Amino acid sequence: MTTTTPRPVELDDVQGLLRFGYSHHTEACFLLLRVKDPAAARAWLAQAPVTTAVEAKPVPATAMQVAISGPGLAALGIPDDLAAGFSEEFLAGMAGDEDRSRRLGDLDSSHPSNWAWGAGDAVPHVLLLLYALPGHLADWRRSLEAELASGFTLQAELDTADLAGREPFGFRDGLSQPEVDWERRRPVEDRDRLEYGNLTCLGEFLLGYPNEYGLYTDRPLLDPGRDPGVLLPRAEDRPELADLGRNGSYLVLRELRQDVAGLWRWLAQQAGGDLDRARDWAEAMVGRKLDGRSRIPGARGLNGFDYAADPEGLHCPFGAHIRRANPRNADYPAGTRGILARVRRFLGFDAGALPQDLVASTRFHRILRRGRAFGTPPVPEQALAEPPPTAGTGLHFICLGANIGRQFEFVQSAWIQGTRFAGLPGEGDPLLGHRLPGPDGAPSDCFSIPRADGPDQRLCGLPHFVEVRGGGYFFLPGIRALRYMTRPR
């Protein structure tokens, strides 16, 4: 454990998205760019007005964030040996190989070969995220596009919609977020946590700081000879080296098309037209009520709960989307107190605790979500009316983290797609599951709702409600790292 006061975070070197969701900026648009002229592209990026994590009063009318993909680094002329210091997942890319797609559940109609962007030659080089207060996006975006034309081609523009805090299926969204330890209050140490908590080490989201293991995640560290102008900060753990990763993060973007009408119609049909029951099932599938309230009795507010009091999934089914995405458990099963109890559980001798110990400790698998909805989803009542609305709607899922493999990919493959999550009998996520049969041909398209007075209720034959239309891994650099990478040479 360190006793010295840790260096404060250089907020002016951190992109604002790590600290803010830009919720006042209800207009947003994400530009996917390909580098056309590397020198011109670098020159533009070198002076790009990137908004930092320093709190501004009043809030700025517009905010821009910049992220670069693995192929983008090469396209901008970043030397390979320097890029090699980034994580393997980032360099390989979300659609880099079949094995990754299989693990992420990007199969069937969600397979990268069906994507609108992000696979093969269609990996964007640079991602520009534009956020604006109401009325400020359109003109700004037009003038930016004109500026960008010399260095980039505009591959695609992802428009977003302001659904007033809801996601397209109609549920309140974005309620659960880890609390990032900006003040660096958590000691740098490797110690078991006996309780689920929301406060998460800075290093889980920001490169260059200690993570939940008390360690620094790998990132490109440079010989100071490669940074003669001292543009880059020095590494905290290795002060003799320049830190290209510090204050940066990885950004995961996925375009998820949601079949809103499909979900509500299917549920209504299963419920024999009983809309209250259909809503109840939808809420069980999500794990929250439509208005965002937890299904766990005694929850404090929208986010003050865990599942220790619901070990049988009677209130929130094990398979519910939010229970999978964030199981809210600690390093040991609930109720571990005292030396003897811990020793017994440490060795696995507490038979009662073992069934509660099937899910990995949550704190190593948190993600910071920054997604935005798109399209004009019908409200549930509309979704049930004829004819079904056809316009595309869904979520531009965005999450940030310092370790794509341990955070986004783990959550997506072990928890969301895992058909035996928490001991379930064989079913994927009720919203995001790929629905393909298992290796023995057993179906994975059911959803189990446990009840105290009988065998689980089971909804089977769930259709595909969410389809992946594109996606990519990006590096969201610190401001100095961005200037370093795009400096004139």
Partner 1 sequence: MTPQSPFLVVASVAAGREAGLRALLAEMNSAPGVVDPDNPVLPFGRFERVHFARLMVLDQTTMADLSLYGVSPPDLGLRLVLLGDCDGPARTLLDELAAGAEDGLRRLFGHCEGFDPGTGLAAWLHAHSRPTQANYVNWLGRTVCQIHEESALQRFLSARVPRMPVASGEARRRRRELIEAARAEQRAGRLRLSAPQPAPLGWWLGNLAHALGVPLLALLVSPMLLLAAPWFVWRLRSLERSDPEHCPPPEAGHLRALRELEDRGLTNQFTAVGPVKPGAFRHALVPVLLLAIDWGARHIFHRGHLARVQTIHFARWVVLDGGARVLFCSNYDGIHEAYMDDFINKVAWGLNLIFSNGVGWPRTDWLVARGARREGCFKKYQRAHQVPSQVWYDAYPGVTLNDMRRNRRIREGLEQGEMGEDQALAWLRLL
Using CB under 8 A, pick the residue from 228, 239, 298, 454 that binds partner 1.
Answer: 454
- Closest contact distance (angstroms) between CB of 378 and partner 1 is 31
Q: Give 320 or 422: the residue with its C-beta nearer to partner 1.
A: 422
Could you list the beta-strand ranges (E) of 333-478: 368-369, 372-374, 394-401, 447-451, 454-459, 466-476
**Residue span 373-412 as binding mask against partner 1, x where in contact by CB under 8 A, dash where not:** --------------------------------xx--xx--
- Which one of the spans 26-34, 176-184, 195-203, 415-423 is the region binding partner 1 (CB under 8 A)? 415-423
The pair of three-digit structure tokens given for residue 375, joined into one six-digit string: 């399209």
Asked if 308 contacts 296 with a C-beta cutoff of 8 angstroms, the reply is no
Looking from the CA of 22 toward its CB, the CA atoms found within 13 Å total 28
Four-residue CA torsion sign, 198, 310, 260, 301: negative
- Residue 314 binds to partner 1 (criterion: CB under 8 A): no
The pair of three-digit structure tokens given for residue 412, joined into one six-digit string: 């997506």
Asked if 294 contacts 302 with a C-beta cutoff of 8 angstroms, the reply is yes
**Residue span 91-130 as binding mask against partner 1, x where in contact by CB under 8 A, dash where not:** -x----x-xx-xx---------------------------
Q: Which residues contact 406 (CB under 8 A, 6 or more apart)?
A: 364, 365
- Residue 418 binds to partner 1 (criterion: CB under 8 A): yes
- Closest contact distance (angstroms) between CB of 100 and partner 1 is 8
- Residue 457 binds to partner 1 (criterion: CB under 8 A): yes
- Residue 328 binds to partner 1 (criterion: CB under 8 A): no
For the chain, give percent helix, strand, coil, nearest 5: 30, 20, 55
| Cα 319 to chain centroid, rounded | 19
Per-residue HEC secondary structure of 73-96 comes to: HHHCCCCHHHHCCCCHHHHHCCCC
- Closest contact distance (angstroms) between CB of 362 and partner 1 is 11
- Residue 357 binds to partner 1 (criterion: CB under 8 A): yes
Q: Which residues pair with 451 in a beta bridge?
A: 454
**Residue span 125-164 as binding mask against partner 1, x where in contact by CB under 8 A, dash where not:** ----------------------------------------
Helix (H) / strand (E) containing 64: strand 62-68
Burial of 211 (0-12, 13-18, 19+ CB in 10 A): buried
Q: Considering only residues 198-227, where is the footprint of partner 1 by CB under 8 A?
A: 211, 213, 215, 217-218
Using CB under 8 A, pick the residue from 239, 297, 441, 488 that binds partner 1.
Answer: 441
- Which one of the spans 41-49, 111-119, 240-248, 448-456 is the region binding partner 1 (CB under 8 A)? 448-456
Q: CA 385, 391, 393 angle in degrees (round to 5)?
A: 100
Q: Give 217 or 247: the residue with its C-beta nearer to partner 1.
A: 217
Q: Give 294 or 417: the residue with its C-beta nearer to partner 1.
A: 417
Determine the number of helices (DSSP H) and then strands (DSSP E) in the chain.
Answer: 13, 15
- Residue 344 binds to partner 1 (criterion: CB under 8 A): no
Residues near partner 1, by CB under 8 A: 88, 92, 97, 99-100, 102-103, 190, 211, 213, 215, 217-218, 331, 345-348, 354, 357-358, 360-361, 364, 405-406, 409-410, 413-414, 418-420, 423, 425, 438-442, 450-451, 453-458
